[in-house]
Structure 1
Amino acid sequence: MHKKCPVMSVFWLLSKRWMLLILRSLNEWKETFGDIKRSLIWISSKILSERLSELQMEWYVDRMIIQEKPIKIRYSVTEKWKSLWDCIWEIDNWARLNTN
């Protein structure tokens, strides 16, 4: 990872395949692994699991175990991600105005 440059570190993580789509799916209230998997049918379960773990390690996603029968695991975006999402929207707006 790019430890000397925080911006590059964030871009490096988010540029990995599926990352932004997973986060967008979570923004749309897809909470369980199965919900996310159904919304991103082309991603393998292995890669989805790896990406969710990476996002948890960077504090963009929380993983909660719900003590029901059967036990459920729910994912949600963190405040850290929500604040970054606002910045991404600004970049999106800029790109729409400044690219063909």
Structure 2
Amino acid sequence: MDTSVICPRFESAISILSQRWTGLIIYQLLSGPQRFSQLTEVIGISGRLLSERLKNLEVQGLVSRTVYPETPVRIEYELTEKGKSLKPVMDEIQSWSQEWIEAPPETK
């Protein structure tokens, strides 16, 4: 009997991207560096959870954090080259969703 084996690298990649909000964070950062408050507002995620996801993406080498020594301190997050390399993947998911996913009903 032929048993397919999932590639461990593929499994790791899917594990990273499948964490709740991670895909949206990466998608939002594809447009360029953003401050924490911008990400919170646009994505609609709690600060605690956003902080957790950004730290994880930093550990994975997908996001970099830059602290500007200003008053008040300004911190920006942006995709690294590794993170930016996900653009074609995110574009394909966007295209697929436009074709195959029904738009959610509008809320009043």
TM-score class, shorter-chain normalisation, is 0.7 to 0.9
Q: 1:66 to 1:90 in 2, by over 3 A?
A: same
Which contiguous aligned blocks of 4+ residues in structure 1 show a shift greater than 6 angstroms? 94-99
Q: Which runs of 5 or more residues in structure 1 are unaligned?
A: none
Q: TM-score, structure 2 length as denominator? A: 0.75
TM-score scaled by length of structure 1: 0.80
- Alignment root-mean-square deviation, CA: 2.3
- Counterpart residue number, 1:63: 65
CA apart distance, 1:45: 1.0
The alignment covers a number of residue pairs equal to 96
Report deviation, 1:92. 5.4
1:13 to 12, 16, 40: 16
Match of 1:44 in 2: 46
Instruction: Mark the structure with the bigger radius of gyration.
Output: 2
> Does residue 1:27 correspond to 2:26, yes or no?
no
Sequence identity percentage: 34
Consecutive unaligned residues in structure 2, runs of 5 or more: 1-6, 102-108
Higher relative contact order (CA 8 A, sep 6+): 2
Structure with a larger share of its residues in helix: 1
